[in-house]
Chain A
Amino acid sequence: MEVSLYIQKLTIKNFKKIENHSFDFNDKVNILVGDNDSGKTTILEALELVSNCSYRGKSLGAALSPDLFNNNSVARFIAGDNSAKSLPEILIEIYLSDCPEYKGKNNSHNTDLDGLFIRICFDDELSSTYNDFIKSAVSIDSIPTEFYKIEWFSFAWDPIKFLNRRLKGLLIDPTRLHPTYGKTQYLANIINSSLNKEQQALLNLNYRQLKNTFGQQQQITQLNNDLDSTNQVTEQDLSIIADTNSGSVEAGLQLAVDDISFSHIGKGEQNKVQIKLALLNKGGNVDFVMVEEPENHLSHTNLSELIKFISDNNQNQVFITTHSSYVLNKLNLKNLCLLSHGYLRLSNIDVQTAKTLQRLPGYDTLRIVLSQKVILVEGPSDELLLKKLYLQKNNRLPEEDGIDIIVVRGIGFKHYLNIAKHIKTTVHVVKDNDGSYKSHILDYAKNFNFGNIHFFSEKNDTLKSLEPSIIEANSKDEVSLLALAKIALSAQAYNILIKEATLNDKKAYFLSVYVGVNGDKNNGSKKVDSAIKIFDSTSKIEYSDYLKEAITFD
């Protein structure tokens, strides 16, 4: 089935975390990423509100409370003259791809588009009552929602009828699965998304018949006959029956997995079953699905399986919030909807980068996406020395100032930079010149000529990597070189070094320590050993200029 109906854009005014913002979406998968409190959940709740006129599974009429209003709008109202005019209103609009019945200009863009809106606003009919109320009220410290009404209209300004509405969303929220709360609603959702109308009717019918036959069971009849056989209680006939009138089918039914009642199976399994049923949408009653943090309660294997299921079964539009780089990479970075400073989609990200990270989902892409300032380095020794340098200079670790140092490891700088170039994160790249500052740094940097990306490296071509550069920086005389060697080298190596005749001989030996037995240049473990020693030492050393520059953010 081809996706034709999907949400292109959402605008939110004065709803919870979001004061006034609009969000464009992808037609299939949307991965909402942002720091805690950035408004991911508010977006899902807004989508649920405008598509179903319900808030967290409850009808909006019942759920309408001052908590739904954005704090800033509430503060402005309280500080103001409290007049009816100054009461804030919530407006949520959804713009749809293809729903001509909902077409019209009754939207905040005043443009002929398909969509619908929900508006929670002051009810003009209550004007005089409200005026009396504010005259007599001692002080107003919240939004008087009793004076509010709910308007639910298409852009054609036609009222939306719940049962005939064109857009139906399902919010999957593991917290709703608490055994004492919302079972009915939750089961209703499952029934709704999994069974078509005929099947639902059959379920209802059979359930009612089952209840009727309860009373006809021989033992029940016997029990009822004995209940008040002498008519001491009442002149009439007293009996125990199954309650066929009260409550819906859902109230009396329960879902079972391997014969275990649903509320008693693991949270992870509950979550998984619910998400899968909704995505399969066998009943055809759901147009889009919202999933909050699918990584919750799931083991890595289960998560991996669930993510595969999501990416294989997305005829419907899907909205997922996540704190997991794994989920993000696996579902393809191009589906990223980023909420940090502003809102950004990564739909035009480099295809190769997205593919690589789908295959190697372990890389921590969320860090580069969510951090404001990032230093990308080649290896752990670079990270340790930069941290030490920052600490030495500022008396704080870089992470305390919101600077995230990321070791690029196997996949190199390229993929991280392909992400960074789309977003506003300031990135400092600290890279070895590998023998040619011009070709390995200057020419390389031309591929990433973006205002937020800066390169830092040793300009002297003979100092190919970090260690030679650091040694050089501490070689102005023998005393300083020995001070470095004392910190960085093992006692054994240090003892060899001090026996070398000249300063140059000493430097040559120092460098040779980092060359492996087979002549390979990178004796990684030795380098990291040295870096740890420098990091742990209380003595200060000299650092190369490019390192000093790399830790300085404007």
Chain B
Amino acid sequence: MTKELFVACAGAGKTTKIVKAAIELTNNGSKVLIITYTQSNQRELVDKFVELGGLRKDLFVVKGWFSFILEDVVRPYQRCIFPNRITGINLNSSNPHKNGKFYISGRAEKIDGKYNIKHFFDSRNHAHTEFISKLACNIISESKVDIGKRIKSIYKRVYLDETQDFAGWDFTLLKKIIKAKELEFHAVGDFRQTIYHTSSNPKKPSTNSEKLAEYIKMGFVVSHLSDCWRSIDQICQFADTVHEGEKFAPTISKVEPPAEVNHTGIFYISEENVDAYVRLHAPMILRHGSRSGQYLEQYDNLQTFGTSKGQTTNHVLILATKPILKFLKGMANPFGKSSTATSQNKLYVAITRARFSVAFIVDDRHFAAKLWKEI
């Protein structure tokens, strides 16, 4: 069993689990690669490695997904398509070949049957991250190389952290890599926390269920990490309702609120009470985007759902968006039909930051009876 997928709930302690296993492997002289998407995650992994007593830093390799593709897949074999050394990556936030709504001409993938440099690279010869996994797949096919064999001969085990953020061409590339039977490949992630993708316009698979099905089809053995070491039971159960009906295992809280914490559970706050609430509980305040809820900017610790990812706090205060209100009121299909379920996932991320309490700012008569009051 060399291919495993761990579906984790928020607060499952993925990083600790990965680093502990990596320390054991590196102490035995095996090289371990951990691929993760965000830079903050890369730092956290390295810090954790030192914190937990890892000694063989030379065998503990942490790379970003794009660096991994560039260094271990693209560059070694790129000559079959592009003769000049690719010097780096260009981190795209959107399709680099579009100017507003218009496509820039001369940027097609192939021109006259030949790969187009301008499709894959910018003027400094840096690869567009938007197309880098596609580039990698093309290079693997053109150079007829067994990429899995190369990875396997360097690393004993590869961890793919934040698996949920991968989509489309990433999967095609993944399939080519895991062809190496003996390569130990562990994917770890939480599909409920998918809020960005490695590519802005992913091809399939893109939804949670599509991705999960794809992993199973590729031969991954799925197990769930459902023990939560962060949030109390009430929050875990509440968070689970965000993705009700999608086959996620129920989260089991492993923490009890300490005696000195007397504010626990789920709360609804009216706008006029926000000031009092913030003064009393000093929550992390979360809003959908940087333009929503301008009046909140007077408070410290204000973040968007997206930037809060990976953080932990005692109490959160969430500015409810329209879909969130619908969800809180128990209406059917509150998040609409988004292929990537981003707004649903963002809510899950926001809720699961909290150890002890989650409060929503609601401006709706529905909650009149439930509103929090300063005692």
The interface of chain A, by Cβ under 8 A from chain B, is 100-101, 103-106, 110, 112, 153, 155-158
Contacts and interface: CB of A to CB of B under 8 A. Distances in A.
B66 to A, nearest CB: 15
B92 interface: no
Interface in B74-92: 75-80, 85
14 contacts: A100-B150, A103-B150, A103-B154, A104-B77, A105-B76, A105-B143, A112-B77, A155-B76, A156-B71, A156-B75, A156-B76, A157-B75, A157-B85, A158-B75
A487 to B, nearest CB: 74
Given A112-B145, A156-B71, A105 B79 contact: yes
- State the majority secondary structure of interface residues on A: loop
B153 A158 contact: no
Nearest to A100: B153
Nearest to B71: A158
B75 A112 contact: no
A104 B154 contact: no
B153 A103 contact: yes
Contacts of A153: 85
A104 B153 contact: no
Contacts of B80: 105
B79 A103 contact: no
Given A103-B153, A153-B85, A158-B71, 7 more contacts: A100-B150, A101-B154, A104-B77, A105-B80, A112-B77, A112-B145, A156-B75
B72 interface: yes
Contacts of A157: 75-76, 78, 85
A157 B72 CA distance: 10
Contacts of B143: 105, 112
A105 B154 CA distance: 16
Candidate in B76, B78, B80, B145 with the most chain A CB atoms within 10 angstroms: B76
Nearest to B152: A100
Contacts of A110: 79
A106 B75 contact: yes
Contacts of A156: 71-72, 75-76
Nearest to B151: A100
A507 to B, nearest CB: 78
A195 to B, nearest CB: 19
Contacts of A158: 71, 75
Q: What 10 A-B pairs are tightest by C-beta distance, nearest first?
A: A104-B76, A100-B153, A156-B76, A157-B75, A100-B154, A105-B77, A157-B85, A112-B145, A101-B154, A103-B150
Interface string B200-217: 000000000000000000
A104 B75 CA distance: 8
A103 B76 CA distance: 7
Interface string B148-160: 0010011000000
A123 to B, nearest CB: 14
A94 B154 CA distance: 19
A106 B153 CA distance: 18
A157 B71 CA distance: 8
A116 to B, nearest CB: 12
A73 to B, nearest CB: 22
B71 A105 contact: no
A390 B134 CA distance: 75
Nearest to A157: B75
A106 B145 contact: no
Interface string B234-258: 0000000000000000000000000
Contacts of B153: 100, 103
A106 B77 CA distance: 7
Nearest to A104: B76
Contacts of A105: 76-77, 79-80, 143, 145
